[in-house]
Amino acid sequence: MFKSLFSRMSTIKKTRLRHVLYLGSLVEKQAETFYSHMARQADYEDTRALCFRLAEEEKRHFAFITSILDGWIPLPVSKGDLEAMDAGGRVRGLFSSPPDGDATVEDVIEYAMNAEKKMVIFYLDFEKEFASEWKRMKLWDMIEEEKSHVNKLSEMLSSLRERKLITE
């Protein structure tokens, strides 16, 4: 079982890794939807292409997590599990809402960059919990992709500023 910020609400209760992974899968699915929406709204082809690529990478992350979960015997989720996951997700800001329709492009990109940074920390919290080396390696691949998302989004923000499409 896994003990981190997800179990701070109780010193006795430990959250199962499967429940933390399930939470991660929900966030990855949300990120895929967010980037797909951004791609459809983008005014420039390079921005659209980047957002579609990020959506595809988030889709792969979701698939990887669900492939792990599908290999495990399902266990019921208790009220304590849900409370610990909810508290852990809220501490990390994993459930923050995307900017509304009136947000600037800069607001949207900064939201996405912060969400990616949160996922890096989220995955780092439990990467040592995997007994299987290939799962740890795959998780590190996901961590590196999340870091690259931050860099790509930062480059997009710089590019838009250079084109004077948004102000600093």
pLDDT tier for residue 15 given thresholds of 50, 70 and 90: low
Residue 4 lies in a domain: no
Residue 64 lies in a domain: yes
Residue 31: what pLDDT?
92
Residue 126: what pLDDT?
75
If 0-12 CB within 10 Å is exposed, 13-18 middle and 19+ buried, where does residue 144 land?
exposed
> Dihedral of the CA atoms 41, 45, 46, 49 (nearest 10)?
70
pLDDT tier for residue 67 given thresholds of 50, 70 and 90: very high
Residue 94 lies in a domain: yes
Task: Say how many domains are in the chain.
Answer: 1
Q: Which of 21-30, 32-41, 92-101 has the lowest mean pLDDT?
A: 92-101
Give the chain's mean pLDDT.
Answer: 81
User: Would you call 44 helix, strand, or coil by DSSP?
Assistant: coil
Residue 14: what pLDDT?
60
Cα–Cα distances in Å, from 71 out to 16, 20, 66, 68, 133? 15, 15, 8, 5, 16
pTM for this predicted structure: 0.78
Residue 10 lies in a domain: no
Mean pLDDT of 132-147: 87
What is the C-alpha to C-alpha distance for residues 36 and 30, in angstroms, rounded to an integer? 10
- At 33, which CATH number? 1.20.1260.10
Which is higher by pLDDT, 92 or 45?
A: 45
Residue 7 lies in a domain: no
Full domain range(s) for residue 91: 16-162
Mean pLDDT of 58-79: 88
Which is higher by pLDDT, 163 or 52?
A: 52
